[in-house]
Chains A and B, each alone.
Chain A
Amino acid sequence: MVENRRWLNLLTHAVLLLGLAVVALPLWMTFVASTLGPGELINPPIPLLPGSHLLANYGEALSSGMARAGGVPVGTMLFNSLVMALGIAVGKIAISVISAYAIVYFRFPFRMTVFWLIFVTLMLPVEVRIVPTFQVVSSLGMLNSYAGLTIPLIASATATFLFRQFFLTVPDEYLEAARIDGAGPIRFFRDILLPLSRTNMAALFVILFIYGWNQYLWPLIVTTDEHLYTIVMGIKGMVTVSDEEPNWPIVMATSMLAMLPPVAVVIAMQRLFVKGLVDTEK
């Protein structure tokens, strides 16, 4: 801390608390809703404090609530979500970090062509080009497989873009020093660039893991085998009951449960995050 001004500290906490209140409100409401009894949600205003059905609702969410939406055990769905999230996160980080490295640190013919080919994928999420993408995946025989679930979703440039931005801020002195030591491109990448990128990778991992975890439309389209269903599909299945009101408290309880793995990832990665920052400079 550079200086200590009381009003500034107070203001800081005020900003954070206010921001937190706004940002966390929907989440808090989910939690509150997940503890209410049937029908309680519909009487205005929705209570601000948790109700008395916490255990009952979560019990039902874990046992029968999910099973109704297609007969797949919750465990299977969680596992599939995990595979999908990890596949996307790891796959995307791996392919992007090396391609960003090539783009920033190498001079080679067609560099700009490659750069733009990759960067046009910044736009058009898979949902918008879903029908042609489905046809491609199907003609490659990848329907109903983990590969079909994950690989089409790693075709996006956001991670490459982030690494590029980061590599550009890495001082040139590192490379010069490495060259003086006689380090080749692979050693420079492995021993210097990768450790420096740790924070960014952790941040990206969090984001991509959650992106993968939360996919809905794509897994819905490419899978017909229930053993590949993901947890978000299960929850949506509970919400989109046709011509009847969903059992909201159970839906909310399941949503809370489905949020736990990504939140655990956030918390775990945050440590790495902070450590990465501490290691690099301060």
Chain B
Amino acid sequence: MFKKMIGALGIAALAVGQAHAAIQIQWWHAMGGGTTGEKVQQYAQAFNESQDKYEIKPVYKGTYTETMTSAIAAFRAGEQPAIVQVFEVGTATMMAAKGAVYPVHQLMADAGVDWDPSDYLDAVKSYYTTPDGKLLSLPFNSSTPVLFYNKDVFEQAGLDPNNPPSTWAALEDVSRKIIDSGAAECGFTTGWQSWVQLENFGAWHNHAIATRANGFEGLDTELKLNDDLFVDHIRQLKEWQDENIFAYGGRRGDPNPLFYTGECAMLMNSSAYYGSVKGETDFDFGMTFLPYRGDVEAAPQNSIIGGATLWVLRGQDPEVYEGVAEFFKYLSSPDVQVDWHESTGYVPITYSAYERARGEGFYDENPGADIAIKQLTYNEPTPASKGLRLGNFVQIRDVLNEELEAVWSGEKGAREALDSAVERGNALLRKFERTAR
């Protein structure tokens, strides 16, 4: 009896000792209280339970910008986490911070973890690799803009709900019919205007928005947003806006209610909104590719991603990085990837996860859920469509928002606004070039 008790105590002490010995690894993320936040917790927990050497500690740090700025402020004070989730527009900033960032390909090699980066989709990977194709950060959540359309409205307007428009000309035509029939007040709206109507519009038409292969080939890149292709597109949108074929409803996800309420028949926004569109609407909706211009031969090419990746920051003990490598391997596993894709609306980012989801019949049950990945992989990414690597991109996007809004409100013409966007954007690029050297 006495011996047994001692034994039990010993085991308990051992357990306590082990719990203390686990190496803590902080993971700062921006996945709030929805499904995504829950999943982050779940994966960390599952990983922690699968071994007892490391303990991943997910810490919610606010929005993407709040998370990134917190991590940078912490780095400056020497209190940085090992892992931080950074959105795609922060890529150039992170990449330029060579002394601060531990590139993922190197981390994995140093830790000797068996890990196959080629399983990641080209369109996802290409955004985050060095010129020689090495991954700098671990892709985590990715999406791409698609076209959501209201099938009920299509039917009311006498259109085939299973034949959504594929070109901008068809989109105009469909919108006119819808408005004329009174089925909806407006044709379409768009969220994330810079991402959807400029960045992805460029990629989809295989037309770079900046020189030096969208910044991949050098910091001396310059914007090309005042090329005729973009100017024509924005001018066209403005003309449509005057006829209510297009309605502007704000930045980010702000225009979504225009679609949910049936005011606009179509919405271009992130595919990750799939779950929300499903939840907020009581009509039948469909998803399809972004429209392209029939007169552009190169179109459609492939679209580019948005979302975030996990960056590793330097300054921790070597054993911490071994834990990070193990955890990254776990996160890349098909089990996690399939679960993440199916429960959140983000695209599957590895080929094996995509295959598995398809094999399980996920896309038969959820029609449209594979539109995003099909569009991302429509063609092998070209230098104009593999992504963007622009410094100060957060601020550049803001400039683009401002200038586009000046067009929508009638203050400026399309040419004038985009000229000014290029000038202001280039100034920001030069500023970045100077500090990044």
Contact = CB atoms under 8 A, between A and B. Distances in A.
A247 B346 CA distance: 18
Nearest to B260: A42
B77 A138 contact: yes
Interface centre among B32, B81, B256, B272 (most CB of A within 10 A): B32
A135 B59 contact: no
B257 interface: yes
Interface in B245-261: 253, 256-257, 260-261
Interface string B68-98: 0110011011110100000000000000000
A241 B41 CA distance: 14
A238 interface: yes
Contact of B345 (A138, A237, A244): A244
Nearest to B257: A42
Given A221-B73, A243-B143, A245-B279, A226 B37 contact: no
B43 to A, nearest CB: 13
B280 A245 contact: yes
A138 B78 CA distance: 9
Interface residues of B, number: 49
B273 A240 contact: no
Nearest to B87: A242
B316 to A, nearest CB: 14
B276 interface: yes
A42 B259 CA distance: 10
Nearest to A235: B33
Interface residues of A, number: 36
6 contacts: A39-B280, A134-B73, A138-B77, A220-B62, A242-B272, A243-B273
A245 B33 CA distance: 11
Contacts of A62: none
Contact of B73 (A71, A135, A236, A241): A135
Contacts of A242: 30-32, 36, 63-64, 141, 272, 308
B42 to A, nearest CB: 10
Contact of B76 (A131, A236, A237): A131
Interface string B272-287: 1101100111100000
A51 to B, nearest CB: 16
Contact of B36 (A226, A244, A245): A244
A66 to B, nearest CB: 8
Interface string A63-95: 001101111000000000000000000000000
A169 interface: no
Interface in B26-45: 26, 28, 30-38, 41
B34 A246 contact: yes
Interface in A116-165: 130-131, 134-135, 138-139, 143
A239 interface: yes
Interface string A49-70: 0000000000000000110111
B66 interface: yes
B330 interface: no
Contact of A240 (B32, B76, B261, B344): B32
B126 interface: no
A43 interface: yes
A42 B77 CA distance: 44
Contact of B32 (A39, A217, A238): A238
A68 B253 CA distance: 22
Most buried by B among A131, A234, A242, A246: A242
Interface in A2-48: 38-39, 42-44
Contact of A238 (B33, B62, B257): B33
Contacts of B308: 242
Contacts of A280: none
Contacts of A71: 41
